[in-house]
Structure 1
Amino acid sequence: MRNSLFPPLRPWPRAVTIAAIAPLAALAAPLAWAALLCASIHAAHAADSAAAEPQPSVAVQTVRVQRAVIAQPVRGFGIVAASASSLTTINLPYVARIVQMRVQTGQSVARGTPLFVVQADPAAVLAATQAKSALTLAQGELARTQSLYDKGLATQSQLASARKAADDAQQALAAQNQTGIAGGNKTITAPFAGVVLQLSAAQGDQVAAGAAILQLASGHLDATHDTRANVTLGIEPADAGSVHPGDTVTLHGLSAPLAKTAVAGRVVLVGAAVDQQSQLVDIGANVPLAQTPFIPGTRVAADIATRSGTHWIVPRAAVLEDGQGHYVFQITPQKKAHRVAVTIAVENGERYGVDGSLDAALGLVVSGNYELQDGMAVRAGGDTPR
């Protein structure tokens, strides 16, 4: 065996080993508890620091909401004074010649204004004259027959025939008088205040009995007492079911000068069929157009207010939708987002009329709402204009 520089290790006696280690173990236990205590203090301090840090929030813009009357508009297009109920065709029941035309297309006329001067056809005047002569002759024959009958020189049948001839002559003359035919020139006047919409004859023309000479449109309809339509509008068939007589109509001009001019009236007639040419449903509206730039023949657009009712009025941007339906966010006094379920009742341009448990005292989020969740902290940027 090699000699070693160190003497060989020899095991300690068992009694010596236990006696030497026991004090060391007694010292280790307090150190472990001290280390555990320090770790707990450090964790609590870290939690307090995290709680003291501000939580993430979303910047939003809000508006105030209120309940008010709102309607869903239906758009229609049409023309002023195109309804048959507001037009009158001026004609004559006899053949005549236009001696002088006193008005022109587009001219406003008052009741009694001279429209044109005519001269009846000589044959028509002759017929009227002959009717008068026939009546005079029949009445004379009746008187003579009556005298003979009283003397027993005429029969009852002869007297009855004379009476019938007199009656027939009287009715023929009355028919001639109803036509208003007379010899010489005759002036025809406007039967009501309105606008000359169209001239169908010119000065010097010979017109047949019943032929149109001009068309007169009533231009002074009273929307309170008159139930005639002076505007015809066309709307989509899908919208016809929501339009009813009495609905408010607002006219706007299609031309640039009339684009900002608006006149209100009401619906008086809703068509029950689709027009084969336009494929639209005709709506008759009564709009007071006196002293407005909407002269007969003006093409217009119209908004018909339908489904009118009282709802919460909110901007379109405020309403969101997910699998649970439509909803909005309002801001609580604690600056938290509060989700409110709503039902859309009316759409009007950039506004909705909605029903739901909204609070008029709380701001409604219109910007930043896509980032929100119920209960999330927010930073309100102030109310925006409604």
Structure 2
Amino acid sequence: MFGIDRVVLRATISATLLGGLFATNLQAQDAPPPAVVTHQIEVQPIDAPESFTASVEAIESVEIMARIQGFIDEVVFSPGQIVQTGDRLFQIEPKQYQAEVASAQANLAQAEAQRVRAESEANRQQELVNRNAAAQVNLEQARADFQVAEANVQAAQAGVELAQINLGYTTITSPITGKIGQALITKGNFVGPSAGSLAQVVQLDPVRVVFSISEQLLLDMQQSGMAETGAENVNFKLMLSNDTEYAQTGTMEYIDNRVDPATGSIAVRIVYANPDALLLPGQFVTMVIAEKDPQSLPVVPQTAVLQDREGRYVFVVNDDQTVSQKRISTGPRVMNGWAVTEGLAGGEAVVVEGVQRLQDGMAVRVGAQAAEEDTAAIQQDAEGQSTDDAAASDGDAP
């Protein structure tokens, strides 16, 4: 009796399984095409800026020093003051040098008087020789004395000039326009050429921003013309430490003439106007380099891009509601997408949802609602399968 029951049970199970498979095949034949969501490819300007840590340098910086010895009679400036070229900074006591000028001028007057007398004597000896009233040797001596007197005048003139130069050095002026720091010496101190720096003047407008780029980026810039001095197709944007953009526009000054073999980088220098003195030498900033007129390329969402051993690809929906696999080459990232350098032209509808179930040439249904319906159906089938499995488990129980 138990043997007959087992035969009947096996036959029942076999019939059930065959019926399930038959129903599944019918459902597969009647199942609609998979639903997908698409995105239309747009062509956008591709601006992929490069950022670098940079530092601010003064184009001109001067240590103020004394050229002559003397006591400081006056400190004319205030620390932090903006000084112009030629502005008076320090005054050395001038009396000694004024006296030296007066002495040199007296020596010049004496030399000029001696020259007049020597010239007169040479003329007199010439007249005597012409009348055969004097020897030729006397004339030659008179002429030599006149030449000596002439040289003495020139030496005295040089002495006056040197004394006047030294007197001028008693007034120490700024050789450049810039901001002066603290005076390193005060009134009454003795200074001279060996005393060292008295103060420092730093030019603040314009300033130079220095940073380093890689060899590869340098080649890219050279090939695109962005590395030329004064190039107009590149934008040098400067970001300050408070994350604000510096308002002035920078211009390429020059790129260094050698690559650092230790780092493989090369120094670049950009000049910025600095009328408000927001940039100070030694300050760290961020340099952002971008093309002013960037190339326009198709941009594809990252969710649409798949990859295999042959590279990246997307699925494009055709007019007949089928999909085609398109191989693409990508460039820089653009927000949540990729710039496409090859494979797409713009305007295509690429699949961004439902790509995992697709094959080349497969028919699809396009639309977010269709995709939601497919998702709901899949979930319902999964729940139904779980119920069937549970029922089968209960039937097998003794």
Higher fraction of strand: 1
1:119 is displaced (CA, Å) by 1.5
* Cα distance in 2, alignment partners of residues 279 and 129 from structure 1: 63
The change in CA–CA distance for 1:301 and 1:116 in structure 2 (over 3 A counts) is same
- Secondary structure of 1:70's aligned partner: coil
- 2:61 matches 1:87: yes
The change in CA–CA distance for 1:187 and 1:215 in structure 2 (over 3 A counts) is closer
8 Å contact kept, 2:305–2:313: yes
Alignment equivalent of 1:201, drawn from 180, 184, 187: 184
Q: Report the AA paired with residue 153 of structure 2.
A: A
Number of residue pairs aligned between Structure 1 and Structure 2: 317
Alignment correspondent of 1:102: 77
Higher deviation after alignment, 360-369 or 131-140 = 360-369
TM-score (norm 2): 0.62
- 2:244 matches 1:260: yes
1:260 is displaced (CA, Å) by 2.4
8 Å contact kept, 1:75–1:301: yes
Residue by residue over 1:319-348, the C-alpha shift from the partner in whole angstroms, topping out at 9 and shown as x without a partner, is 554433444555545555544444445567
Alignment correspondent of 1:151: 124
Alignment correspondent of 1:282: 267
1:300 is displaced (CA, Å) by 0.8
Give matches, 1:211-360, under 5 Å. 211-221=196-206, 230-236=208-214, 239-243=217-221, 244=227, 245=229, 246=231, 247-254=234-241, 258-263=242-247, 264-273=249-258, 281-291=266-276, 293-305=278-290, 309-312=294-297, 314=299, 317=302, 321-333=307-319, 336-346=322-332, 353-360=339-346
- 2:124 matches 1:140: no
Q: Supply the RMSD in Å over aligned alpha carbons.
A: 4.3
- Secondary structure of 1:55's aligned partner: coil
- Secondary structure of 2:193's aligned partner: coil
1:298 is displaced (CA, Å) by 2.4
Instruction: Please list every run of 5 or more consecutive structure 2 residues that lacks an aligned counterpart in the other structure.
Output: 1-21, 126-138, 222-226, 370-398
* Cα distance in 2, alignment partners of residues 53 and 266 from structure 1: 64
The change in CA–CA distance for 1:305 and 1:171 in structure 2 (over 3 A counts) is farther
Q: Report the AA paired with residue 233 of structure 1.
A: F
TM-score (norm 1): 0.63
* Cα distance in 1, alignment partners of residues 159 and 314 from structure 2: 81
Alignment correspondent of 2:54: 77
* Cα distance in 2, alignment partners of residues 64 and 366 from structure 1: 11
8 Å contact kept, 1:101–1:202: no
- 2:137 matches 1:162: no
The change in CA–CA distance for 1:175 and 1:55 in structure 2 (over 3 A counts) is farther
* Cα distance in 1, alignment partners of residues 338 and 105 from structure 2: 75
The change in CA–CA distance for 1:113 and 1:176 in structure 2 (over 3 A counts) is closer
Instruction: Please list every run of 5 or more consecutive structure 1 residues that lacks an aligned counterpart in the other structure.
Output: 1-42, 222-228
| % same residue | 16
The change in CA–CA distance for 1:213 and 1:292 in structure 2 (over 3 A counts) is closer
The change in CA–CA distance for 1:266 and 1:133 in structure 2 (over 3 A counts) is same
* Cα distance in 1, alignment partners of residues 353 and 113 from structure 2: 99
The change in CA–CA distance for 1:274 and 1:216 in structure 2 (over 3 A counts) is farther
